[in-house]
Amino acid sequence: MKKIIITLLFIIITLNTEAQSSVFNVVDSLLLKGNYQKALVLLENETPKTTQVFDKIATINQTVGNYNKAIHYFEKALKIENSEEIKVKLGVAYNSAGLSSKSILIYEEIIKKDTSNLLVANSLGKLYLAKSKVKEAVQIFRFLNKNDSLNPNYPYQIAQCLAKQNKKLAMKQSYLKSYNLDTLHIKSIYELAKFFKELKYKDSTLLFIDKGLKIDSINLNFLQLKANVLYFLKNYKGAIEYLTKLDSLNFKSVNTYEMFGMCYFNLKEFDLAEHNFKRALKLEPNNSKISYRLGTLYYEKKEFKLAQLYIIQSIMYGRGDLDKQFLLAGVMAKEEFNLKVAINYFRDAVKYNRDNVNALFQLAFASDSYFKDKKIALKHYKDFVIRFEGKNKKLTDYANSRIKQIRKEYFMKGEIVE
């Protein structure tokens, strides 16, 4: 009798397993066609609810982005079977749902029991880094690098940790190690290009940029970097070539359009400069810097009304340094013989930036032209010479000349001024 019962149980289990396998086959065929909802309904109606059923339901929910449901069903699966594989999946689901702290706890638990799981260790290291647990992240990635010394990703991740610790030399060496392990490791190539750019090592910067573009000719990061480097080398036509490539990829950015405009501005192609500045302003209408660029452009084109309009707009939206805007507004007011207004603008320019050579000189010069009391201009000329003597010989010579003349004029009137 006992043998009959055992045999019957075996038959029932076998039939259930075969039935469930049949259900999984149907589910898989539905998933191939993208019928996720039908697959879920089929699984949710399936009995008994095994680990495999809950795992499958959770995995489908994870795939369609329903992370909280995925977490719920992975947890149900774990109550039936303490599976490391399902724990890993639960960790991924937690991270996808924005619960990275819970992911870290699960991964730490797995690694404590199984140090051979390098994939989990790598995920844990990345989460540590994202949470700015740099020491823990470095420890994980050094462990991974020791166990898999030919993987370029690990020295790259170590370099990312070193960057957060501001250890730039060690960071560079780690990026180079990654690159030497895999000369196609584009992330390391990009970081090396940025590193050498920051150091202003032109040849090394361009070398790594070009390596990156050889691997991926339409990589937005490298195209932007190449345009930027060429712009600051004053190779405006070269910069335009790469900016045009970015534009053809429908890459839209205020900074990119601004650089486009500045390249054309420096090449005296004012219509194209205007077009690109306006594209930038369309993306960010209250951008003070772009309004200033347009004001400067219209000033060069001698369209003074438009220049004034954009300079006032720039001042209105500006925050922080506005000395250039006030300086140009003052210059335009001076050219219209409105010296009183010009002086006020020059004062504001100096207030925002006391190191602006031209602003302080223009304040002195305009005061000299406007006020009968030359002591006002004398004070500004003296301030200019004290602060900027030697920085601009022509302006310094003029200021010294006027100081002598003003003192002489007052001396002739019987007054000594210092």
**Lowest-confidence pick of 41-45, 65-69, 119-123, 284-288:** 41-45
Confidence (pLDDT) at 20: 52
Give residue 139's pLDDT band: very low, low, confident or very high (50, 70, 90). very high
For 199-250, how does the pLDDT look when each residue is reduced to its tens digit (9 = 90+)? Answer: 999 999 999 999 999 999 999 999 999 999 999 999 999 999 999 999 999 9
Please give the Cα distance from 264 to 218 (Å, whole number).
23
Confidence (pLDDT) at 279: 97
Confidence (pLDDT) at 48: 82
**pLDDT at residue 342 above 80?**
yes
Q: What angle do CA 48, 50, 55 make, to 5 degrees?
A: 135
Q: Helices marked H in 199-287 — which ranges?
A: 202-215, 220-232, 236-248, 254-266, 270-283
HSE, CB side, 13 Å, CA atoms: give it for residue 289.
12
**Lowest-confidence pick of 53-57, 222-226, 308-312:** 53-57
Please give the Cα distance from 220 to 224 (Å, whole number).
6
**Lowest-confidence pick of 108-122, 159-173, 203-217, 234-248:** 108-122
- Compute the mean pLDDT over every residue in the chain, rounded to the nearest whole number: 91
Confidence (pLDDT) at 314: 95
For 68-102, how does the pLDDT look when each residue is reduced to its tens digit (9 = 90+)? Answer: 999 999 999 999 999 999 999 999 999 999 999 99
**pLDDT at residue 7 above 70?**
no
**pLDDT at residue 3 above 80?**
no
Better-scored residue on pLDDT, 391 or 17: 391
Top CATH class, 1-98: mainly alpha
| Host H or E run for residue 110 | helix 100-113
Where do the structural domains in the chain lie, given as residue ranges? 1-98
- In DSSP notation, 254-270 reads HHHHHHHHHHHHHTT-H
Instruction: Give percent of the chain with pLDDT exceeding 90.
Output: 80
Rounded to an integer, the average pLDDT of 393-413 is 91
**Distance set, CA 185 to CA 30, 124, 153, 168 (Å):** 38, 22, 8, 19
Give residue 155's pLDDT band: very low, low, confident or very high (50, 70, 90). very high
Residue 56 tokens read as: 């499958």
**pLDDT at residue 15 above 70?**
no
Contact 105, 122 (CB under 8 A): no
Confidence (pLDDT) at 103: 94
In angstroms, the first-to-last Cα distance of the chain is 124
**Distance set, CA 288 to CA 15, 254, 296, 364, 392 (Å):** 74, 12, 12, 27, 29
